[in-house]
Amino acid sequence: MNSFWNGKRRYVALLLFLAGVFVALVVPPVIPFIQLAGENLPAGYNIPFTDIRITNTFVAAVIVWVLLLLFTAYIARRRPSDGSEVPPGGFYNMFEALYEGLMGFIGGIAGGAHFRLIFNMFMTIFLIVLLSNWMSLIPGVDTVGFIHPHVKEKFDPETQEYKVITTDGFEIYQGFLGISYVNGQCDWVSPADEAAADAAALAAAETEAAAAQQTQLEDAAYARYQAEHGEHGDDHADEASDDHGDSHAEGMADSSAATAAYDEVLAARVAEKQARADRGCYTGVALAPWQDGYNGDKDAKKEPIPLHPDPSSEEAKRVPWVVLPWVRVASTDLNMTLTIALISVVMTQYIGFKALGFGYLTKFFNFATLFKSPLGGIDVAVGLLELIGDFAKILSFSFRLLGAMFAGAILLFVMSFLVPILPWPFFILEFFVGAIQALVFALLTAIFMNLATISHHHDDDHDDEH
């Protein structure tokens, strides 16, 4: 271990750590828009010769297959031609040790005439799921992609037309080489919401001013009452003069208190808008109704929301934006996990028919002993439960993997946002979770395939009992 960190490696590790700290402090983290289904890439990114839009999870699946093919070619090229040749060492030796270990492990579970088919299916599923799961650890996956306006069309039954509505998202800014970036410090605020917040602040200020004025009037009335019913030692003229002066001061106090309360509420709203402006946000800085230069119109609210705005134009300020990743982990898409689950279950039925012929169906439809033995009804019920169980495997396989990896991806998003400098423990956790999920998926497939090759001799057992 000490020799591994000697020389240049320690400086490379230190440089990478400092680069990570710099990026975490300078670039504001952004939690990508999270949805269960894979996102369609923009128009024009279709599967060749079809109208089917490519999804970012499909791109990830293609990358996994390309990596698997390259990996297979590498192993085949590095593999010794005969037993006398010395293995090349390094990564090949590590993989060979892993391969032989897994082969021995599966051989202890599913040895026999069908071992090769079972092991091939096990290893294929293991490598595909493993590479898919570990893709979430690669920088840029789920975070780098297209800047996408987060708007959608909704049918309005009153006008019988489609209108564009906005959802949540962020503001964007133009950076190096004209590349658009999502500003993680600026949640998008629509002009309508901004105007509503200003109107609410204005109403709150008027309410506070009225309350302050009312309080002052009540205090003044109580003071007069105390003066009228207190000790009488002053001249009548002095009292009249004092009453006139108190009345004038009272009015001034009322006006001053109301103005102070009014200004305090509006100052808080202005400070909130200024804080957004200081963070570089382009919304939240429009003039408010109480500021000089406000024209009082609602043009910002009446302007139509653009469906396909240009990120570099002024229209970009009127819609929220999110990142549409180029690549998203394939195992966070139900299509991928469900497909592998279907392959697993279908191959289980295939090897069952291959090993037992049509007698394999008696595992599910065992009516031979129904009228021959008191246990015949139990055999029928057990067979039907086996049939239901095989369909249930599709759901359990697909949703187990989907749930684990989707939750892991969200965990990495959130922790990278909350602890941008030191999220390494969570990446290590996801590393092991990805490996365990791949092993569990492939191992269960091997176990079920092996069980499918075992014949059930219920008929012979019942005959021997009689």
Across the range 112-137, mean pLDDT stands at 92
Write down the pLDDT at residue 206: 85
Higher pLDDT, 443 or 223: 443
Taking only the tens place, the pLDDT of each residue in 282-293 is 776 777 777 777
Write down the pLDDT at residue 461: 45
**If you average pLDDT over each of 71-80, 100-109, 355-364, 372-381, which comes out highest?**
100-109
Which band of pLDDT confidence, cut at 50, 70 and 90, is reported for residue 6?
low
Taking only the tens place, the pLDDT of each residue in 36-49 is 888 888 877 888 88
Write down the pLDDT at residue 16: 79
pLDDT above 50: residue 459: no
Contact partners, residue 383, CB within 8 Å, separation at least 6: 362, 363, 364, 365, 366
Taking only the tens place, the pLDDT of each residue in 308-352 is 888 888 888 888 888 888 999 999 999 999 999 999 999 999 998
Return mean pLDDT, the chain.
Answer: 80
Least confident span in 19-23, 124-128, 403-407: 19-23
Higher pLDDT, 342 or 240: 342
Write down the pLDDT at residue 130: 94
Write down the pLDDT at residue 440: 93
**If you average pLDDT over each of 205-214, 254-263, 369-378, 416-425, which comes out highest?**
205-214
Write down the pLDDT at residue 297: 54
**If you average pLDDT over each of 304-308, 367-371, 444-448, which comes out highest?**
444-448
Across the range 217-228, mean pLDDT stands at 79
Across the range 291-296, mean pLDDT stands at 70
Write down the pLDDT at residue 230: 65
Write down the pLDDT at residue 101: 92
Write down the pLDDT at residue 464: 45
pLDDT above 50: residue 253: no
Across the range 236-257, mean pLDDT stands at 50
Across the range 395-422, mean pLDDT stands at 85
Which band of pLDDT confidence, cut at 50, 70 and 90, is reported for residue 85?
low
Least confident span in 185-194, 401-410, 428-437: 185-194
Across the range 159-170, mean pLDDT stands at 81
Percent of all residues in the chain with a pLDDT value above 90, rounded to a whole number: 18
pLDDT above 80: residue 455: no
Distance from C-alpha of 23 to C-alpha of 421, rounded to nearest angstrom: 9
Percent of all residues in the chain with a pLDDT value above 70, rounded to a whole number: 83
Write down the pLDDT at residue 182: 82
* CB distance 279 to 186 below 8 Å: yes
Higher pLDDT, 293 or 189: 189
